[in-house]
Amino acid sequence: MRFRADRDTLLEALVTASRATASRSALTGAAPGLQLSLKGEHLEIVGSDPDLVIEARCKVAGESDGTVLVPTRLVTDIIRSFESGAVAVVGGDDEVRFSAGRAEFVVRVAAGAEITRLSTLETTGIDLPANTFADGLRQVVRAALVDDSRAPQLTAVQMQATEKGLRLVATDSYRLAFRDFEGMSALEEGSQVLVPAKALAEVQRLVGQAKDDDDEMIGFRHSDLDAVFDLDDVRITTRLVRGQFPDVDRLVPTSYAYRLKVQREDFASALRRVRLLVRDSKDVTTPVRLSFREGGVELQVLTPESGRAVEALEGEFSGEEIMIAFNPTYLLDGVEALRSDILVIEVNDPGKPALVRGEGEDEYRYLLMPVKVS
């Protein structure tokens, strides 16, 4: 294998593919590798862990085709260290040579090693509008459970075909995010798949990086085991999560006794400010206490060690005063997910789920359990 490539282009592809190998070493003890395959002008870089494969493609000046498996971290660091410009790569049986300017690296590689790949799906898929879908991912992925063996199904986002279209749902048991895409049909009606939030975060990241092109589409297809997301130069294949997603619809209250409306950006700024006093440790959640009162809301954080922070905001609220406390990070996650300028928080009881939503933004809902304070 022999080719010349632009350093920036090559680095971007390497970094993208290497995001699938991050957890490999911890799992198997083996040093994670990236597979470089050259066919004509097309270089394909594949990173893989047991559940996720990322294939990144870029154009290079190819001289002879071939395949080689290189150590992820080392090779990425080498290419990054080069100045912008041309990089020459020559792959042999047991070593690969990288050179740029007068610098040259010869990296030992395992001969004949091959990367594990998930099954290739032959089904035809559907195209999703990239920006809309990625915006939904941004709103929902944040509520998924981060790596937890107790309930693996919650590390996934549920993609569900509803009467109206597609729905994404995620929950870590403390909060629950819904996003509806009206008229979007990615799945057969009535069916659902559990896609790891980790893979979807990559999809969202890659779309976000791309130039704002409203016409860009994401190809999506799935089998019982895998799902594939096709972007311009990148393909993400992920194992689906097995298991039953909880029946979350029943958790959503049908009505609320209290409703607060407030400028979303003002609320977010105030929350970020009072949050400065939060002491976060594994064991303790310092809550932010929201007091809904006539004409607005007061945010308060109290810690025995550090002190107290209070901020009052004007807003729409009428009725008797009610105090409810939340994990400030979870609350801010919900508020920041919204697009609407007006934030609506609806509450029934300081011990029952509250709804965070944007006015006029009916496609997204963020349900949050409070923190119980005495």
Partner 1 sequence: MTVDQSALLDVLHVDMDCFFAAVEALDDPTLLGKPVIVGGAGPRGVVAACSYEARATGVHSAMPMGEARRRCPAAVIIAGRHSRYGEVSAELHDVFREFTPVIEPISLDEAFLDVSGSHRLFGTSEEIGHAIRSRVREVLGLDCSVGIGRTKLIAKLASREAKPRASKKGVLAGPGVVMVLAAEELEFLHPRPVRDLWGVGPKTAERLARYGVNTIGDLAALDPDALERLVGKAAGTHLHSLSWARDERPVESGLEVKSVGHEETFPTDRHDHKLLQPEVVRLADSVGARLRTAGLTGRTVNLKLRFADFSTITRAQSLNGPLLSSVEIARIATALLEAVDVGTGVRLLGVSVSSLEPLATAGGRQLSLMDLNDMAREPRAGAGSSSASKRPSEPARAEVEAAIDAIRTRYGARAVGPATVLDRGSGLRVKELGDGQWG
* Alpha carbon distance, N-terminus to C-terminus of the chain: 68
- Residues facing residue 68 across a β-bridge: 36
Of residues 239-258, which lie at the interface with partner 1 (CB under 8 A)? 243-244, 246-248, 250-251
Q: Which stretch binds partner 1 (CB under 8 A): 6-14, 104-112, 285-293, 311-319?
A: 285-293
Using the rule CB under 8 A, is 285 a contact of partner 1?
Answer: yes
Among 27, 61, 284, 310, binds partner 1 (CB under 8 A): 284
Please identify, using beta-carbon distances, which residue of 310 and 373 lies nearer to partner 1.
Answer: 373
Using the rule CB under 8 A, is 347 a contact of partner 1?
Answer: no
For 131-143, give one letter per residue: b (16+ CB within 10 A) or e. bbbbbbbbbbbbb
Q: CB neighbours of 202 closer than 8 A, spacing ≥ 6?
A: 19, 20, 52, 54, 236
Q: Which stretch binds partner 1 (CB under 8 A): 40-48, 81-89, 224-232, 350-358?
A: 350-358
Of residues 151-190, which lie at the interface with partner 1 (CB under 8 A)? 151, 153-154, 171, 173-176
- Measured distance CA(353)–CA(299) in Å, rounded: 18
Q: DSSP letters along 193-257, please? A: EEEEHHHHHHHHHHHHHS---TT-EEEEEE-SSEEEEE-SSEEEEEEPPPSPPP--GGGS-S--S
Using the rule CB under 8 A, is 238 a contact of partner 1?
Answer: no
Using the rule CB under 8 A, is 127 a contact of partner 1?
Answer: no
Q: Output the CA–CA distances (angstroms, integers) from residue 6 to 81, 232, 252, in the order listed.
A: 13, 18, 52
User: Could you tell me the smallest distance in angstroms from the CB atom of residue 10 to partner 1?
Assistant: 43
Using the rule CB under 8 A, is 150 a contact of partner 1?
Answer: yes
- Positions that interact with partner 1 (CB under 8 A): 148-151, 153-154, 171, 173-176, 243-244, 246-248, 250-251, 282-287, 302, 304, 325, 327, 330, 349-353, 367, 369-374
